[in-house]
Structure 1
């Protein structure tokens, strides 16, 4: 999905996140989401890749995101 919550109100955005999560679990599939929405990342993601200037700069679990010392990732999260 490319920016599945782009332009949506917060309530609908939460519903879309829940729908993506439930389909992923129900169908036992891998889902790749391209988004700038950190709320969605933390809700949907298990494994997260952070791209910076077109390159993979960091990857890890959502539990590792906040603990990362990657400056670009932290700047993005807390922007």
Structure 2
């Protein structure tokens, strides 16, 4: 997620479409922001990295592990 533009409405979102295609959406309207995955599949299991770039603040990285049961 790139917040380096002057307005948050111009922020850009990138995802690897090979894995989540149209099933994954990053929602910034909630606090905290969330990654929503529709129709979770066994192959979705693994590590996810969220990177947010800002204009005047350091880049933030968050890593989670999703386990599908």
TM-score range, shorter chain: under 0.3
* Bigger relative CO (Cα 8 Å, ≥ 6 apart): 2
- Higher-strand-fraction structure: 2
- Higher-helix-fraction structure: 1
> What TM-score do you get using the length of structure 1 for normalisation?
0.25
